Amino acid sequence: MNLAQTFKLAYRNIWRNKTRSWLSVLAVGIGMALLLLMVSVLEGEMRGALDNTIRLQSGHLQIRPAAYAENKISLKWDDLIDNPTEVAEKIKSIPQVAIATPRLIASAILSVKDQSKGVQILGIDPASAANQPFRQGMLAGNFITADDREGILIGNLLAEKLNLKTGDQVNLLAATSNGDMNQQIFTVRGVFTTRTPGYDENTIFMPLAKAQAFTVTENHASLIFIMLQNADQAEAVAQALKSNNLKVLTWREQNMFITQFEDYANAFFVVLYLIVLGITATVVTNTLVMAVFERTREIGILSAIGMKGSGIMAQFLTEAALLATGGVIAGLILGGALVAYYTINGIYIGDYGITGVLFEDRIYAHLTVQNTLNLAVVTYLVTLVASLYPARLAARLEPVEALHGLGE
Amino acid sequence: MEVAKVSNVTRVYKIGEIETQALRGVNLSIQSGEFTALVGPSGSGKTTLLQLFGLLDQPTSGNVYINGKDATAFNRNQRADLRKSSIGFVFQFFALIPTLTAYENVEMPLLLNGMNPVERKRRVNEMLEAVGLENRAQHRPDQLSGGQQQRAAVARALATNPKLILADEPTANLDTENGKQVMDIMQKLNQETGVTFIFATHDPRVFGYAKRIVTLQDGLITQDNQAHGK
C-alpha cells in the first residue's frame, strides 16, 4: 500500500471518533502552547535582563584600571582611570564604537530628615548618548547639566521610599579618595525610572565633574562605558583596546551570571518539558490504544488479506502523525496567541532582583523562530514515540486472535 | 493439481490450565477447482481447519501445504505474503473496512499487491460487476445491505485472482434470498474461473452447492463425500 493510501485510511480513521481525536489534538496543542509560553517567558526574561544590564550598567565593553576587582568600589587614584575624558575620546575614534563615556562610581549615604539610605553615586557626562535610557525615563524635573554643582537625579523608587520630589534637598555623605568623609546638600533636579527596581532604588546621578570634586578623585573615573555598533564585535574591539595599565571587560564576561542562570533555567525547564510532554504523550497513547482495541477485527481483516505487521504499524503511526500535526498546529495557534498577549502586556513581577542582574518589573515574552521550531519538532516526535506502543500492539496481533468472534 | 493440504494436523487451545483439542490429527487434500463444504456442528473444528488452510493460525502439530509449499514453518511475513498472493477470505460477519467504500474495500488487496492504478481500476470494476455491485461502488458498508456487503467481500476475496477462497459461514447472517445470491455468485465464479472454494458451514442451504462435503466431528473428519452440486 502506498503512502497516499495509508494517509487516506489514517485520515478517515481519525474522523471515526471526532470527539476523541479533537481532545487528543487539544491535549497536544495545550501542552505545546504552555511550553511555548514558558520558553518565551524565559527567553524574554533573560533577554530583558541582559539588555537592561548592558544598557544601564555594563555596556558592551568597559575599560577599567588594571587594579580593578569585581565587587570592590575603590576611589584610590591607583584604582581609577587617569584622565578618562581623553581615554574616552581616543576610544571613540574606533569605527565600531558608538559611545564611549567615563563614569565614576562611589558609595554614599543619602539622608533626608530622619531617614537615610545607602546609595551608589554615578558620576556621568550628562551630554553623552549613553544616558539616553535615563533621559527617556525622566518622570519629573529636568536632566542634570555638566556644570550643575548641586543637582542630582534620583530613581522613582528611591523618591517614593524617602518621599522626595523635584526641588527637595538631600544630604549626601561619601568617602573620598584619601579616606576622609565628605558631605554636602544636593537638590533633586529630576526623578527617572528605568523600570528596573534594583536600579531605581539605589542609583543617583550627578555630573562627573561634581562627583570627582565631591569624592576628591580629581581627573579620574572608575570606568569608561562603551557601547558598540554591534554587540558581536565586543571581543574584537576588546582585543584592539588591550593595554598594560587598563583592563577591558566584554559584556559577556561581565554578565556571565545571566548566561549561567539561563543555562540553569533551561536545564530546569527540560524537566518541566518532560512532565508536560509526558502528560500529552499519555493522552495520545491512550487514544491509540483505545483505537486498537476498537478496531481489532479490522486489524485481523487487513492481516488476513495480506497486510504485514509493518503495514499495520505504519497505519497507526500515520494516524499518530496526523494527530501530532493537528496538535502542533493547535499548539502554534494557542501558544502564539498566549505569547502575543504577554509579548505586548508582559507579566508583572515587581521588585524581583538578583545582585548584578537588572530585571525589569515586567517580563515580556519573547518567542524566537529557533525555540518555536525546536518545540514543534520535539512535540511532534514525542507524539510519534507515544504512538509506538499502540502501533506495535496492533502490529503484533495474531490474525486469528484479531479475527476472534468472526468464527465459531 | 493440489491447491491446499493439511497433513495430520492437530490444534490445541490452552486457556489457563484447560486444554481444548479443536483438531485431533486431520488429513485433507484440496484439488484445484473444488467447491468443498466443511460441515459439522459448532465446535467440530471446521473454522479452525479453515484458519489453518488460510495461514491465519498455526497447527500445534502436523503440516499445512499451500500450492505444494510447506507453509508450517513460515514466519509471519511469509504467511502474510502467501495470503496476499494466493488466498482470499469471506467471513461470516461482512468483514469490510467501515471507513472505505465498496470500491476501496475491493481495491485494498490489489494495493497490497502493488498493482498499477490502471489495471487496479479495471480489476475492481470487473469484480464489482461480477457480484452485481457496480452501482453501489461508492457506498460505504453502512450504506449497503448485508447481502451487498457479503457480495463486496466476495469481490474483494477474488480481486487478486487467488487460487483458493476460504469462506467461513458466508450465509450465516443472510436471509434466504441474499444467501442464495451470494452462493450463486460464488458457484458461478468457481465454474467460470476455476478458483477453488472451501466453506465452513452448517447451513443446509449451502450443502446443495458443494461438490464435496467434508464432515467434521470433535476435531476429526468423519465423512468425505463427493456430491453433485447444484
What residue ranges do the domains of chain B occupy? 2-226
Assign A408 a pLDDT band (cuts: 50, 70, 90): very low
What are the tens digits of pLDDT across the range A214-242? 999 989 999 999 999 998 899 999 988 88
Assign A122 a pLDDT band (cuts: 50, 70, 90): very high
Chain A environment of B51 (Cβ under 8 Å): 400, 407
- A403/B113 CB distance under 8 A: no
Per-residue pLDDT at B178 exceeds 50:
yes
Alpha-carbon span A374 to A381, nearest angstrom: 11
Task: Give the helix/strand (H/E) hosting B88.
Answer: strand B87-90
Would you state the pLDDT for residue A268? 85
What are the tens digits of pLDDT across the range A19-34? 888 998 999 999 999 9
Task: Tell me the CATH class for B2-226.
Answer: alpha beta
Chain B environment of A407 (Cβ under 8 Å): 47, 50-51, 91-92, 168-169, 200
Would you state the pLDDT for residue A358? 65
How is residue B215 written as a grid cell?
464432515
Alpha-carbon span A123 to B54, nearest angstrom: 93
Would you state the pLDDT for residue A149? 92
Place of cell 595599565: A245
What are the tens digits of pLDDT across the range B46-60? 999 999 999 999 999
Would you state the pLDDT for residue A356? 54
Per-residue pLDDT at A266 exceeds 50:
yes
Q: What is the pLDDT of chain A when averaged over all its residues?
A: 88
Residue B60 contacts residue B11 (beta carbons within 8 Å): yes
- A302/B156 CB distance under 8 A: no
More confident residue, B109 or A48: B109
Chain A environment of B100 (Cβ under 8 Å): 9, 12
User: How does DSSP classify residue A220?
Assistant: E
Chain B environment of A312 (Cβ under 8 Å): none
- B108/A305 CB distance under 8 A: yes
Would you state the pLDDT for residue A185? 95
User: How does DSSP classify residue A354?
Assistant: B
- B108/A403 CB distance under 8 A: no
Q: What average pLDDT does this structure show over A85-108?
A: 92
Nearest CB partner across the interface for B56, out of A2, A304, A311: A304
Per-residue pLDDT at A347 exceeds 90:
no
Nearest CB partner across the interface for A399, out of B56, B96, B168: B56
- B100/A400 CB distance under 8 A: no
- A5/B111 CB distance under 8 A: yes
Name residues whose C-beta falls within 8 Å of residue B96's C-beta, 6 or more positions apart in sequence: A301, B102, B105, B141, B149, B152, B153, B156
Beta strands in A241-291 (DSSP E): 246-250
Would you state the pLDDT for residue B64? 95
Share of chain A above pLDDT 70, in %: 96
Nearest CB partner across the interface for A306, out of B91, B112, B168: B112
Instruction: Go through chain B and tell me how many residues it has.
Output: 230
Give the best residue of B20, B47, B111 to mutate against chain A (max A CB count within 10 A): B111
Task: Give the helix/strand (H/E) hosting A256.
Answer: helix A256-294
Angle at B107 between CA B104 and CA B110, to 5 degrees: 155
Alpha-carbon span A79 to A175, nearest angstrom: 15
10 Å CB burial of residue A373 (0-12, 13-18, 19+) is exposed
Helix (H, G, I), strand (E, B) or coil at A230: coil
What are the tens digits of pLDDT across the range B45-100? 999 999 999 999 999 999 999 988 899 989 989 999 999 889 999 888 778 999 89
> Rounded to whole angstroms, what are the CA distances from A99 to A81, A125, A210, A229, A230?
17, 12, 22, 9, 12
Assign A78 a pLDDT band (cuts: 50, 70, 90): confident
Per-residue pLDDT at B107 exceeds 70:
yes
- B168/A406 CB distance under 8 A: yes
Torsion of CA A280, A283, A288, A294, to 10 degrees: -170
Nearest residue to B155 via CA among B117, B193, B209: B193
Alpha-carbon span B148 to A39, nearest angstrom: 57
